Structure 1
């Protein structure tokens, strides 16, 4: 995996997709992303990461039963859809990804979710590269659960290159996910899953 992740550029998306398929067969749970022309490996999530996604899934389904929080669906991102990102979850209408395979069209996505991991490139990947790629793609909301900072951030109003609005609160408070999601999260319980 190091040899693939260390390559600074890759000339064609097709080569990336083949490399991603090979890696998935060799290392269960490992995933590659291709953002800004660079390959990055995505850390295998830990136990508390999964609990946070279960908690968020339950809230979203209860509040908006017509939507589904899909875990780990790959998305074609950036202006020309040459990038490939693996959010921890995407909030979409039920059935939105049927028949799309490993890398889905981002058009129906209302919100992408990232839960930080403890690997070395989390700061660059989750706080810089992914918000820019999702905003450029036009995804309405980016929700970042930052376990290191004990904060939750909602990025909204993409303008084609960045999100114009970012609202951040510490664990223990409430945060509203604006339209098109329209859900308020009580994030007190996240204190239990900082690791």
Structure 2
């Protein structure tokens, strides 16, 4: 460990990365706002939504890949680590980058809410702030509790927020602006909520 390693809270990012690399494959860990967080295991509907979105992205924009599980360095000064449910980037963008990639070049991150007690804090508050601070142009939240798709755009990295937020109920056509540039028919999402 170097003497110049940046700190978030009382833990070095490098220490978190070592802990995360030793975690069993059944556990997904993230490091946001100085806290280690365990990401809830996905249920079948959650995974079905991610696969639906992957197909939509590939059909509309074949020059992009929607990566599921790639870790990103996010948050103020890149001291956070998150594993979005999806990261849209040019084909082969993450080749050679390892477990935790720089967010530069990522066009959109995606989260699908889980039915757990941390969803509100994690997916609706901390993650958009971290992704905006990293300068990721679009954050797409598929909110199963609210039966809505929320598109966050126009990141303000210094403030750690997105300046434009559009919320649409499941069943609407949802336009995701450039650099993503696709429209989603969200009617099918009504089938994947409790």
| TM-score bucket of the superposed structures, by smaller chain | over 0.9
Matches within 5 A, 1:142-161: 142-160=139-157, 161=160
| TM-score, structure 2 normalization | 0.92
Matches within 5 A, 1:43-54: 43-54=40-51
Aligned equivalents of 1:167, 1:20: Cα separation in 2: 34
Q: Counterpart of 1:59?
A: 56
RMSD: 1.2
Q: Counterpart of 2:21?
A: 21
CA drift of 1:30 comes to: 1.4
SS at match of 2:115: coil
2:134 to 137, 142, 162: 137
SS at match of 2:164: strand
Deviations 1:55-96 (A, max 9, x none): 001010000000000001100012311110110000000000
Q: What is the number of equivalent residue pairs in this alignment?
A: 185
Q: Counterpart of 1:82?
A: 79
SS at match of 1:69: strand
Q: Counterpart of 1:5?
A: none
For structure 1, list consecutive stretches of 5 or more residues without a partner in the other structure: 1-7
Q: Counterpart of 2:36?
A: 39
Q: Does 1:72 align with 2:69?
A: yes
For structure 2, list consecutive stretches of 5 or more residues without a partner in the other structure: 1-7
| TM-score, structure 1 normalization | 0.92
